[in-house]
Structure 1
Amino acid sequence: MVDLPVLDGGRSRSVTDQVFDLLYDRVVTLALPPGAKLSEAEVAAQMGVSRQPVRDAFYRLSQLGFIEIRPQRATIVTPISEDAVLQAYFIRAALEESCMRVAVQRLTQDHLVALARLIDLQAQEIRAGNRAAFHALDDRFHHDICAFAGLEFVWTLIRDNKGHMDRARYLSLSYGSETAFAEHGQILEALRHRDADAAVAAVRQHLSRIEGILARLRLDQPQVFG
């Protein structure tokens, strides 16, 4: 059982949402790896909440395919599903490629400078070997392109569908972060030149790396798959 924080009762979000968000993060970052057991009672006790919001959060996670609730047996974190990863990739690629065509028209010089700063921060985290921080900055880079283009809702759709893809990506950051970093530079360069076709091609290449990641994980860590 992974350590979970006691919830801050002063937050405006519902208790169920807070429990869900924390468990979702633990599953995606593999702090709760495939096969990990979850106890409704233990989660409630650690987080200082009643069992009902934990039960509701468990249900939401099960509907997304991240945990399996087994009556009279332990609830477990599901293995990574290759089909679920590829479905998430299909959705994300379609949305981000469309976003790029809008972004090349709408991003200002200030936006481009802000994205360049993010890439500089990514370089620092790679040098420091901070996988979690790089992952967060990776997400922020993609989010900010959508937001700067006036398409924040697109990132909301991507975020809600990319969790299975993220689990595989997170496992690859020990060897794939430098490639991801370089490809962020290519995306930014295409945006700077207002080249929609190049931006689309760059983000397509970047996201399609997931297929190679899956193949490598199948060899290196077959135990994480169902």
Structure 2
Amino acid sequence: MANDNGNDTRKAALSSTVRGLDVDMSDASNLHLVARKAPARDMPTHVYDTLYEAILSGVIAPGERLMVDEVAAHFGVSKIPVREALKALAASGWVQIRPHRGTFVRPLSSQELRQVFEMRRVLEPYCARLAAGRRTEEHVRELKALVKEGMEAVRDGDVVRTTAVNSRFHNVMAGAVANDLIFDTVTGLEARMRRYFIAVDWKQRRESMSQHKAIMEAIRDGDGDEAERLTLAHLEHTEALAFSSVRQIADG
């Protein structure tokens, strides 16, 4: 369990990034909060995967600077695998390498948030309809377990866990469609959304998880019409809540 000081540091960093949604907030480094587990594979991949998860979970805040020397010292490696990992993160769009300035985690953007929801509204309701007709019993068990875990995370006030569970629910639903292109697109959108879920303080997460339960039941029952309708309503609710929360924090 993370200590209170670590949680306070992360919350402060996240709060500062949201206040200026399109502005870099890179004064402090949260690299010390990143895990240093020994790699079970090549070092560049280990550094990439660890930083990637830290960025998505909000441990490393949007706009934060990643210094090669500091990252290398943190992982106890040379600069070479760190540079390789940062280049790969830049190619994936998670960091920006600015000449003569350094490497920075891509800041949050209201434009990106709007674009992601435009894509989700087009794709995910149809995905839910297909999932209702193609899901297996294993998919239903996974969705049911994620609904339960999500409710528990909300009850415990665990923002990071709630966000991860939310993404996994949508990813499992996409997996039930048995279409690799749909799955890759949805998981990519969900990865982008995780940073926004972390960065804003949503007071209605319980309602969102209740909506997941209704979607799960429609998919379980093979009701494609209902699954599609519920998913669209869920996305509209989530989008309105996201932008409302972002505006409130920015104004505060």
Q: State the TM bucket, normalised to the shorter chain.
A: 0.7 to 0.9
2:170 and 2:190 in contact (8 A); partners too:
no
Structure 2 residue 88 is matched with structure 1 residue 60: yes
Q: Which residue number in structure 1 is paired with residue 245 of structure 2? A: 216
- 1:220 CA displacement: 0.9
- 1:200 CA displacement: 1.4
Structure 1 residues 42 and 220, CA gap change in structure 2 (3 angstroms): same
- 1:1-226 aligned at under 5 Å gives the runs 1=29, 2-3=31-32, 4-6=34-36, 8-11=38-41, 14-109=42-137, 111-151=139-179, 154-172=182-200, 174-208=202-236, 209-221=238-250
* One-letter identity of the residue aligned with 1:77: V
CA distance in 1, matches of 2:130, 2:227: 10
- 1:43 CA displacement: 0.6
Q: Which stretch shows the higher mean deviation, 124-133 or 146-155?
A: 146-155
Q: C-alpha root-mean-square deviation of aligned residues, in Å?
A: 2.6
2:202 and 2:245 in contact (8 A); partners too:
no
CA distance in 1, matches of 2:66, 2:162: 28
TM-score of the two chains, using structure 1 as the length reference:
0.82
- 1:109 CA displacement: 4.6
Q: Residues 153-178 of structure 1, C-alpha deviation per residue, up to 9 Å, x if partnerless?
A: 53333223443322112223542421
Structure 1 residues 29 and 10, CA gap change in structure 2 (3 angstroms): closer
CA distance in 2, matches of 1:191, 1:204: 14
Structure 1's unaligned 5+ residue stretches are none
Q: Which stretch shows the higher mean deviation, 208-217 or 198-207?
A: 208-217
After the TM superposition, which segments of 4 or more aligned residues of structure 1 sit over 4 Å from their partners? Answer: none
Structure 2's unaligned 5+ residue stretches are 1-28
CA distance in 2, matches of 1:165, 1:20: 19
In percent, how many aligned pairs have the same letter? 27
